Amino acid sequence: MSDNKKIGATYQYFFILGNTPILSSAEIFAVLGRRGLAVRLVSVSEEVAIIETNALIDPLALMATLGGTIKIGAMLPSSTTTEQWVRSRKSEGRIVVGVSVYKSATGVSNAKCEETLRTVRGEILTCKRALKEEGKALRLVTGRERALPSVALVTEHILERGGELVVFLSNNGETQFGETNAVQAFHAYRSRDMGRPSRDALRGMLPQKVAQMMINCALYRSEATGAGPTPVICDPFCGSGTVLSEAALLGYNVIGSDISEEAVADTQKNFQWLKNDSRFTIHDSRFFVSDVRSIADHLEKQSVDAIVTEPYLGPPLTGGETPELLGKVRRDIHTLVTDAFGSFTKVVRAGGRVVIILPVLGGELLRIDGIEELGWRLVSVVPEEAKRLSGITARGTILYSRDDQHLAREITVWERE
C-alpha cells in the first residue's frame, strides 16, 4: 500500500501514459470508477494524468490491471524539496535514485524540461556530496532522455534501493514533485506474447495492452461490493485469442468464436499454454467455430456481459488503393459489423457493452448507421478533461494507429439499451 499522505483533503496520484494517452486516460477512469472511487482529473497531457481521489490507492495492485499506464506514483506535498526527498530515502547500503521530468500540460518546451532536469540532478549531486561526508553512499542513475524508462527502474533496482523522483512542469512554470511506486510489467507482456505457441501475424494481432484497455473500458459496473457472478467476456472474432487471454488473466470468464477453425484451434492452444503455467489462474473458458451471424445459436440469450473484439478489417493495405476499392471495402465491413450487432443484441445482457474496433480507411471513418436501430447507443468513455488530447474523433471515439501501418483503427464503445 502506498504511504501517500493527503494533499489537502484528498490523495493525489500520477499516471504516466502509454502510446495512446487518450485511451489510457479512459481506462484509468473506468477501472477506478469500477472500484467505487470518487476521482477528479487534476491535469492531463499527452504524457501524464494527475488525479485526486478520496481514498488510498495500492499502485502495485492497480498497475497489474492497467494496460495503458507505464508508471504510477504518489504526488508529493508542494513544500517538498529535492534535499528533503533524498534524505528521506531508506536503503541498506548504497542509495540508488533516479529523476524523470514530464510535461503535465501542453505547451511546455523541451528546453524548459532539460533545464529542470539539469537543475534537479545538480541538487541531488549536491546532496550526494553531503551524504558522503556523513558516511552514506548515493548513486544517481541517469539516461539519455529526460524520463527514465521502466526497464532502467527495474534493472537498476531503483524503487527498492532508493526511488525515482518525478518532476512535472505546467504551462505557468509551476513545478510539482511525485514519487514512482509501480512500473508496468513489460517483461510479462513480452513473455506472454513471444512464449505462446500460436501467433499468426498474417491474420493481424491486436497488441495485448490495447486489448487490456478495451476490456477495462467494456466493464464498468461497480466492483466495490464484490458481489455478483464473474462477468463473461466474449470475442466472436477471436483470432489467436489475444483479447480472451488478457480477459482471462484479469479474472473474467471468456467465450471465443471465429469463422476460422484454425483460429479457434490457435486460441485453444494458447489457453492450454496459459493453464499449464502455474503463474496464471484461468477461470471458465469456452470456444467454438461459428460465423458471427450465428453465435446466438451457441449461446443463451443475454448471457454475455461484454463483447470486446477486432473484426475483419479488410484486406492488407499498401497505401496505393483507389477510392473505389476503399469504398467497396467500407461497404463490405459496414454490412459485416451491422450483421454482427444483430447477433450481439441477442446475446448481450441489457446494459452490457460492446467495444469494437472499426477500420479507418483513407482517413474516413466507417459508417455506423443501422446499429442504433438494433438497440445500441454509442457512448464516449473519455473523461471530459481529456477530450482535448489527440486521438479523439468528432463522434467521441478513440483513434489508435501506428506510423508503420496504412490502416488506422477506431475504438468504439456501445451500450445496449
- What would the pLDDT profile of 272-307 be if each residue is shown by its tens digit? 999 998 888 888 899 999 999 999 999 999 999 999
Q: Please list the helix, strand and coil fractions of the chain in percent, rounded to the nearest 5, in that order.
A: 35, 25, 40
How far apart (Å, rounded) are the C-alpha atoms in residues 306 and 137? 53
Phi/psi of residue 291, nearest 5 degrees: -65, 145
> Strand, coil or helix: what is 267?
helix
- Domain residue extents for the chain: 11-184, 187-416
Measured CA angle at 111 (ends 51, 177), to 5 deg: 30
Beta strand pairing status for 162-169 and 175-183?
A: antiparallel
Would you state the CATH architecture of domain 187-416? Answer: 3-Layer(aba) Sandwich (3.40)
Cell of 63: 498497475
CA dihedral 295, 299, 301, 305 (to 10 degrees): -90
For the chain, percent of residues with pLDDT exceeding 90: 79
19: which 3 cell numbers? Answer: 502510446
Lookup: cell for 394: 468528432
Phi-psi region of 260 (alpha: psi -120 to 50; beta: other; left: phi over 0): beta
Asked if pLDDT for residue 64 goes beyond 70, the answer is yes
Interatomic CA distance for residues 179 and 156, integer angstroms: 16
Q: Are 39 and 69 in contact (CB under 8 A)?
A: no
Cβ-Cβ contacts under 8 Å for 129 (sequence gap 6 or more): none
Residue with cell 487490456: 212
Q: Dump pLDDT digits (tens) for 170-194.
A: 988 789 999 999 999 988 888 887 7
| Beta bridge partner(s), residue 17 | 69
- Measured in Å, how far apart are the chain's first and last C-alpha atoms? 39
Give yes or no on whether 11-184 and 187-416 have one common fold: no
- Given this structure, which CATH class describes domain 11-184? alpha beta
CA dist., res. 239 & res. 207, Å (int): 12
- For residue 1, the model assigns a pLDDT of 33
CA pair distance 106, 113, nearest whole angstrom: 12
Q: What is the largest CA-CA distance in the chain?
A: 76
Residues 176/120, Cβ–Cβ less than 8 Å: no
Q: For residue 204, what pLDDT band results from cuts at 50, 70 and 90?
A: low
What mean pLDDT is reported for the chain? 92
At 200 the pLDDT is 63
Backbone Cα Rg of the chain: 23
